[in-house]
Amino acid sequence: MSATNFDNALDAFVVIVRAHLPEFGVNDAVLRDIYGRLTLFLRDPVSEETRAALAERLATLVPYVRRERLIVVAGEPGADDVLGDPNAQWVQVGGTGPSVADYVRIIDRRIVGNDWLARPSPPPADAGRRPRRFVFASLKGGVGRTTALCVAATELAAAGYNVLVVDLDLEAPGVGPMLWADCPPHGVVDLLAAAALGVAIPVSDAIVGSRFNGSEGGAIDVLAAYGQSSVDKPENYLAKLARAVADVSLGDAQPVHARIAQIIDVASAARSYDVILIDARAGLSEITAGPLLRLDAHVLLFGTAQHQTFEDYRFLFAHLKSLGRPGEGTPWTNLTPVLAKAGNDGRQLVRAQADMYELFATYIYEEADATSEAYNFDESAPDAPHRFVPIAFESTFATFDPVMSGSHLTEQFYRATFAPFLDALWLLADLTDRKFQ
């Protein structure tokens, strides 16, 4: 028998619980504390004899259980908070099908990473009247995500649309300086850090115009990651960043994702924007969770056709699946994979597309049945969500720098490389290629 570890402790825990409580189900919960220790929370009472026998068996899993608090029943201290917590994960333990009975409700307590536990927000009532939102995301840097955003913003503005670009890559900001005409007084990092003290910096202090406005009347504004205050005092940037991503405040304490959503809502009211393009932090950083889960945006997932890309996607997709309650339909209908730096190796591209389909089929698509309409697509369906939008590899973009060479954001420079991506963006945004015709 293998030793208990973090990865198999939950399975072992649930096997023991089900052996003593066959009725254990989705209305109950397993709490995993900040150290990784498990505690059972039950909605209904059990006999003292059953509770004692179950506790004795669960204690064999120490240190992956909390010995002094193995079982908690509704009505006991702390039970209502756990059993009523909406930010749950649903993990399949045993079974291979879609049966809800195979899933266990997990309440995960963390010091960091809490934004990743927030269920995706439903579309707001005014979603049809709001600017369309796109998050440019990737799990690794260097895949051309920010370059594609700059190109998209320029293309949209050239067609007469007003675009708000939001730089949420606070750990490696870049899109702001590429596009802005001048450095604003402050940035998102300042707004978030000030909130820890209960201080409100006007969002307008972090918005600045772009030097790449369109000839058809479209404008680009940038909600910058940082501003002149950070340029003047660069030694303070990491100190501000640490407070920006922490769920602490002397005022109204809110999760990072909630504060970011409020900032974007305020910023989007500054002008009549048609589209909002959001540059998210690469990887699985805490600051990445909000844009992916909570901004009611379409997520463009950038990656290359390499094995490690799909291994990293598996970490993300498996987590996304755990946030949806079994039987209630997938909330992840807003994902589009973008194959960056696509080369000419046909076998590699075919393998990459097959790998992406396997991930969607395992974690995103629903199992089809005869009684309901499921979110599910055939592997060969040409317009299925798992189909890559390609951006061809082009060596000239290795030196992409519109600050030094404004011609890099002209249609003549970028069109041939980005045409399939831009065509897909027009379709996703449901916009015509000219605002004023």
Residue with tokens 């960091």: 112
The span from the CA of 267 to the CA of 258, in Å, is 14
Q: In terms of pLDDT, which residue wins out, 372 or 63?
A: 63
| pLDDT (mean) for 69-84 | 96
Q: What pLDDT does 437 receive?
A: 55
Inform me whether the pLDDT recorded for 127 exceeds 70: no
Q: What is the DSSP string of 103-141?
A: EEEEEE--SS-GGGGSPPPPPPTTGGGSPEEEEEEESSS
Are the C-beta atoms of residues 139 and 299 closer than 8 Å to each other? no
Q: What pLDDT does 120 receive?
A: 75
Which top CATH class is 127-429? alpha beta
105 - beta bridge partners? 90
Q: What pLDDT does 125 receive?
A: 58
Q: In terms of pLDDT, which residue wins out, 198 or 368?
A: 198
> Over the stretch 43-71, which tens digit does the pLDDT of each residue have?
999 999 999 999 999 999 999 999 999 99
Who contacts 87 (Cβ-Cβ below 8 Å, separation ≥6)? 107, 114, 117, 118, 119
How far, CA to CA in Å, does 114 sit from each of 201, 217, 437?
Answer: 25, 42, 47
The residues spanned by each domain of the chain are: 6-109, 127-429
Strand intervals (E) in 132-186: 132-138, 163-167
pTM: predicted TM-score of the whole model, two decimal places: 0.92
Paired sense of beta strands 220-223 and 207-209, if any: antiparallel
Are the C-beta atoms of residues 153 and 182 closer than 8 Å to each other? no
Residue with tokens 């189900």: 25
Q: Which two tokens stand for residue 390?
A: 């390609």
Instruction: Tell which residue, 196, 207, 278, 285, has the closest CA to residue 239.
Output: 196
